[in-house]
Amino acid sequence: MKEQRDYIQDIAEIRSMMERSSKFASLSGWAGILAGIYALGGAFAAYILFGFNPDELNYTSSNLTNVILLAIGVLGLALITAIYLSWRKARSKDEKVWNATSKRLLISMAIPLVSGGVLILVLLAHGLTGLAAPLMLIFYGLALVNAGHFTISEVKIMGIVQITLGLLSTWFIEYGLLLWAAGFGAVHIIYGIYMHFRYER
């Protein structure tokens, strides 16, 4: 007959297996902080270098192509950073980044992100530049809420914050760039610092 501590061990094992197989825990706080810094840099560059600051829905800018390229650059840099830091964190815990949970996490994020991305491109083609920043916040927020099912629940809260900022910014179009910087910049940095102190120290 097994001892009591064996049964307790069984339950601990069950709990840890359920947790490990359904939650992606390798997301690094530093990835959030760096993504936030890139976003702030990007918003600043768009404003200073390209004079980009949409204040109405039908906003035209001669530098629109440059701004889109800049945005793609910022996104790419943030993604590479996040993937690299997650990979490093997973390796230090002797786990794989690319497992069933991270696959599902990515798919659940990709669906709102891709639909939002396509919508924004279509609107840009129609000259509705003012809606780009708010919609980016809203769809990114939806992606985070979705992703929150497969990682720590704080991600859900961040998603709701981004959606709120996005909705605010559809009303106050003239503050679009500022709210975008707040959402993608400040919120990421705050979240990253929180993650770092809560889970990584």
Partner 1 sequence: MNISFDDLHKAFESRIRLGIMSVLAVNESLDFTALKEFLDVTDGNLATHLKKLEKEEFISVEKSFIDNKPNTKYSMTPNGKEAFDNHLQALEAIIKSQKES
CA distance 117 to 138: 11
Size, binding site for partner 1 by CB under 8 A: 17
- Which residues have C-beta within 8 Å of that of residue 161, sequence separation ≥ 6? 141, 183, 187
Judged by beta carbon, residue 156 or residue 196, the one nearer partner 1 is: 156
Instruction: Kindly tell me which residue out of 96, 118, 126, 172 binds partner 1, with binding defined by CB under 8 A.
Output: 96
* Residue 69 binds to partner 1 (criterion: CB under 8 A): no
CA distance 64 to 36: 22
Return the H-helix or E-strand segment holding 37: helix 29-48
Among 14-22, 114-122, 135-143, 184-192, the segment contacting partner 1 (CB under 8 A): 14-22
Instruction: Kindly tell me which residue out of 63, 99, 164, 170 binds partner 1, with binding defined by CB under 8 A.
Output: 99
3 state SS of 151: strand
CA distance 189 to 36: 5
* Residue 100 binds to partner 1 (criterion: CB under 8 A): yes
- The contact pattern for partner 1, residues 16-45, with x = CB under 8 A and - = no contact, is -xx-xxx-----------------------
Judged by beta carbon, residue 4 or residue 153, the one nearer partner 1 is: 4
- Residue 30 Cβ, how far from partner 1 at the closest point, in Å? 25
Give burial (CB, 10 Å; 0-12/13-18/19+) of 190: middle
**Residues in contact with partner 1 by the rule CB under 8 A:** 1, 4, 7-8, 10-11, 13-15, 17-18, 20-22, 96, 99-100
